[in-house]
């Protein structure tokens, strides 16, 4: 018996409103120090390391909207799930060009696929999200395919 | 540092990481991540059942990219990267990045990457595709 409901299937294709953000030298320098970068172009804040983009998707919310464990509430992209425990499945990036200080990027987030596999402890539900980073003109910069696993 | 001719089996220069609470604090502030499992030890142990503060999965992913960037120097471009966290890593763990060349096809090189802890267990796996500038 499948755990994929019609409601879940109908959620495939859901998108968040796109948002813009500017690559700031100060933020790049802080990120470089915090992650232990050693190359000058990152320490100087001239260029963004790839995984700096993870930070761009973290919403800035008032303190009283944070969950008791500190996390931000899930975005509208996460569908209602029949399984309760969510695990990170990994990320795959396609890099079309480097990201530099001063770039203004648009981020588009979408749930693109849901599928099921059998695990040793029962069904596993795979949710595939696509996060696209583009210039304002629509030029692709980085595309991330992010997997979450529910069980 | 990269050798002139890239061959399958070439090892990337790895690095050993011992993230402490200060690094976790700065990293989670830098990415604006308020999840308590990375800074609140009593909560992490009592409410979540972990032995220590957790080292973020994306931080480990970043460490893998750093190994690639340092291997490339100025002579190439990262065009694809993937990573997956396989087991939890905690403050106090000694984490080592490792990588090697697994394929060379003209200017395109594929790299296998991983992080292991002090027990030899893999915490994160990844791979990367890079394009080496011609004439290098």
Asked whether residue B1 carries a pLDDT value surpassing 60, the answer given is no
> Is B32 inside a domain boundary?
no
A37 to chain B, any CB pair closer than 8 A? The answer is: yes
Residue B26 lies in a domain: no
Tell me whether residue B40 is in a domain. Answer: no
Dist CA B19 CA B53 (whole Å): 10
pLDDT above 70: residue B53: yes
Q: Which residues of A89-123 are buried (b: 16+ CB within 10 A; e: fewer)?
A: bbbbbbbeebbebebebbbebbbeebeeeeeeeeb
Instruction: Output the CA–CA distances (angstroms, integers) from residue A129 to A99, A111, B119, in the order listed.
Output: 21, 4, 33
B101 close to A (CB below 8 A) = no
Does B49 fall in a domain? no
Give DSSP secondary structure letters for A36-62.
T--SHHHHTTSEE-GGGHHHHTS----
Q: What's the average model confidence in pLDDT over B54-65?
A: 97
In degrees, to the nearest 5, what angle opens at C-alpha B80 toward C-alphas B127 and B18? 50
Asked if B30 reaches chain A (Cβ–Cβ under 8 Å), the answer is yes
Asked if residue B22 has pLDDT above 90, the reply is yes
pLDDT of residue B136: 45
Q: Is residue B30 part of a domain?
A: no
Q: Retrieve residue B106's tokens.
A: 């003209």
Sketch out chain A's domains with CATH numbers: 6-150 (3.10.129.10)
Chain A positions touching B96 (Cβ under 8 A) are: none
Q: Within a domain: residue B36? A: no
- The DSSP output letter for A101 is T
pLDDT single digits (tens) B71-121: 999 889 999 999 999 999 999 999 999 999 999 999 999 999 999 999 999
How much is the average pLDDT of B60-71?
A: 98
Q: Over 90: is that where the pLDDT of B3 sits? A: no
Q: Which domain holds residue B118?
A: 10-19+55-132
In a domain, B110, yes or no: yes
Q: Which of B34, B42, B50, B125 to mutate to test the interface with A (most CBs of A within 10 A)?
A: B34
Q: What is the pLDDT of residue A76?
A: 82
What per-residue string of b and e applies to B49-85 under the rule 16 or more CB within 10 Å gives b?
eeebbbbbbbbbbbbbbbbbbbbbeeebebbbbbbbb
For the segment A20-36, what is each residue's pLDDT rounded down to a tens digit?
999 999 999 999 999 99
CATH number, position B110: 3.10.129.10
Number of structural domains chain B divides into: 1
Q: Specify if B105 maps to a domain.
A: yes
Identify which of B23, B69, B79 has the shortest CB distance to residue A34. B23
Nearest to A60 among B32, B61, B81 (CB): B32
ipTM associated with this complex: 0.95
Positions of chain A with pLDDT lower than 50, given as ranges:
none
A9, A26, B64 from A44: Cα distances, Å: 46, 9, 20
């Amino acid at each position: 018996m499948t755990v994929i409901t019609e409601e879940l299937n109908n959620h495939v294709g859901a998108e968040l409103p796109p948002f813009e953000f500017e690559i700031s030298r100060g933020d790049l320098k802080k990120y470089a120090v915090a992650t232990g970068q050693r190359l000058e172009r990152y320490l100087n804040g001239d260029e963004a390391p790839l995984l700096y983009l993870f930070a761009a998707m973290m919403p800035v919310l008032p303190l009283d909207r944070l969950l008791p464990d500190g996390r931000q509430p899930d975005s509208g992209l996460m569908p209602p799930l029949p399984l309760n425990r969510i695990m990170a499945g990994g990320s795959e990036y396609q890099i079309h060009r480097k990201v530099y200080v001063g770039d203004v990027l648009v981020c588009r987030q979408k749930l693109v696929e849901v599928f099921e596999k059998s695990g040793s402890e029962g069904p596993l539900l795979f949710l595939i999200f696509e996060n696209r980073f583009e210039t304002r003109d629509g030029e692709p910069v980085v595309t991330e395919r992010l997997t979450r696993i529910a069980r | 540092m990269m050798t002139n001719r890239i061959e399958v089996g070439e090892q990337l220069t790895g690095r050993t990481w011992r993230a402490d609470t200060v690094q976790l604090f700065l990293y989670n502030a830098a990415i604006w991540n308020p999840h308590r499992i990375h800074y609140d030890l009593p909560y992490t142990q009592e409410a979540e059942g972990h032995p220590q503060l957790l080292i973020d999965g994306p931080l480990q992913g970043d460490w893998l990219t750093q190994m690639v960037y340092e291997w490339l120097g100025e002579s190439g471009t990262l065009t694809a990267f993937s990573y997956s966290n396989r087991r939890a890593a905690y403050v106090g763990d000694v984490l080592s990045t490792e990588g090697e060349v697994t394929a060379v096809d003209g200017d395109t090189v594929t790299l296998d990457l991983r992080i292991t802890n002090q027990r030899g267990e893999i915490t994160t796996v990844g791979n990367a595709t890079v394009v080496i500038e011609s004439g290098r």
